[in-house]
Amino acid sequence: MAEIGRDIAKAKAYLEIGNLVGIPTETVYGLAGNALDPDAVAKIFSVKNRPSFDPLILHTSDMSRIAQFVKEIPGPLQRLAKRFWPGPLTLLLPKKDIVPDLVTSGLDTVAVRIPDHPLTKELLGALDFPLAAPSANPFGYISPTQASHVNDQLGTKIPYILDGGSCQVGLESTIVGMEGDKVTVYRLGGLDISKIESEVGKVQVVAHSSSNPKSPGMLKSHYSPSKPFIIGDLDLLISEYSSKGESFAVLSFRRCFPQVSEHLQIQLSKAGDLAEAAKNLFAAMRTLDSRDVSLILSELMPEVGLGKAINDRLKRAAVPEEEKE
Ligand code: TXA
Ligand code: MG
């Protein structure tokens, strides 16, 4: 298993010799390697079992470093960067040659983000290269929001995980770029679209799928637990599956279900707070996935604010095995 600790110098030393390290961010944990070293980047793809057509996000510590990697930052995206970085926002920008093609899967844009986590900010500041870091989960599985999640799934493949506690946002970053002069959201995430719109006006949201070349990695099957995950009206689902004699666990927004054992149900936010629900989502999915039941029943969140991004993840988790891309 990997060593888990808070030693930034140790994480730095591993990264400098081309090794991978699990790093905390405010969104989810990342599997980080030197983004300018094609061998380290290749290791990321192999450790995650990730197809090479799915590009990575480049993480850096401040705006002044970004000009090394990108040709320009269009005006509206500059405004977003100034307002929301460090934070759960990723920008798609025209890349310079210094960024290896492996990072961008051959695309001419690179995804860039300044994450907001004290340990990782300090680590990035101490390094003289940016970090490529996808979420630190095997390809297609639920993203990790605690160091132990990373260790459970990738611990035998990496030497070190920097432990920054539980991720405060809990959903991956919102990915934004330009289509012509239109600000475009390619992945719903931890930064609510209404906040983006308050800065740059109305944006377009492009539904992502593997057939969309702008976001080749956004496959339907992302975020899946290993058990069938069924979404609907929980009262109906619970009575249907009880009468079939199936064993199940229940994931709800705020309601408790007295007919289901306490150990087999999780409320994402009893107070009905979507930010709290987002923060708890992936850990709750993991916990229920580990219970001795044959399926997980869930409901959607209210389709407002972060509820939209949470629902996006729930719907992807619910794609039946045979339809997974
Ligand atoms: O919050 C996050 O964004 C986390 C933390 C670790 O920073 N990272 C993360 O990375 O979620 P990953 O690799 O799991 O998801 C990145 C997504 C992929 O779906 C990929 O397709 C998309 O970003 N992406 C990266 N570069 C792109 C590009 N040049 N054009 C379009 N999509 C891109
Ligand atoms: Mg991911």
What tens digit of pLDDT does each residue of 187-212 get?
999 999 999 999 999 999 996 644 44
Q: Which helix (H) or strand (E) holds 51?
A: none
pLDDT of residue 218: 55
User: CA nearest 140: which of 248, 51, 252, 251?
Assistant: 51
Q: Ligand 1: residues whose CB is within 6 Å? A: 25, 27-28, 30, 54-57, 90, 92, 104, 107, 109-111, 113, 115, 133-135, 172-173, 175, 186, 214-218
**What mean pLDDT is reported for the chain?**
94
pLDDT of residue 323: 62
pLDDT of residue 216: 45
The rounded Å distance from CA 134 to ligand 2 centre is 6
Can you spell out the DSSP letters for 181-209?
Answer: TEEEEEE--SS-HHHHHHHH---EEPPP-
Spans of the chain, pLDDT less than 70: 207-223, 321-325
At residue 4, the 3 state secondary structure works out as strand
- DSSP category for residue 301: P
Q: Which atom of ligand 1 is nearest to the CA of 23?
A: 6
pLDDT of residue 85: 98
Spatial separation of the C-alpha atoms in residues 79 and 84, rounded to whole Å: 9
The rounded Å distance from CA 6 to ligand 1 centre is 25
φ, ψ of residue 4 in degrees (nearest 5): -115, 130
Query: For residue 109, what are the CA distances in angstroms to 40, 64, 96, 295?
Result: 20, 19, 9, 40
The residue whose CA is least distant from atom 18 of ligand 1 is 217
Q: Which residue has the tokens 């001419």?
A: 108
The residue whose CA is least distant from atom 12 of ligand 1 is 134
pLDDT of residue 212: 46
Residues written for the chain? 325
Q: Which atom of ligand 1 is nearest to the CA of 110?
A: 29
pLDDT of residue 225: 87
Pocket test for ligand 1, best of 52, 215, 221, 325 (most atoms within 8 A of CB): 215
pLDDT of residue 210: 40
Q: Which atom of ligand 1 is nearest to the CA of 133?
A: 6
pLDDT in tens, 237-266: 999 999 999 999 999 999 999 999 999 999
Which residues 6+ apart lie within 8 Å of 18 measured at CB?
Answer: 33, 34, 37, 39, 40, 43
Cβ pair 86, 31 in contact under 8 A: no
- Report CA 142 to chain centroid distance, whole Å: 9
Nearest ligand to the C-alpha atom of residue 51: 1
DSSP H helices, the chain, are 8-16, 38-48, 75-84, 101-104, 118-126, 147-154, 193-200, 234-243, 274-290, 306-317
Nearest ligand to the C-alpha atom of residue 137: 2
CB burial string 184-196: b at 16+ within 10 A, e below: bbbbbbbbbbeeb
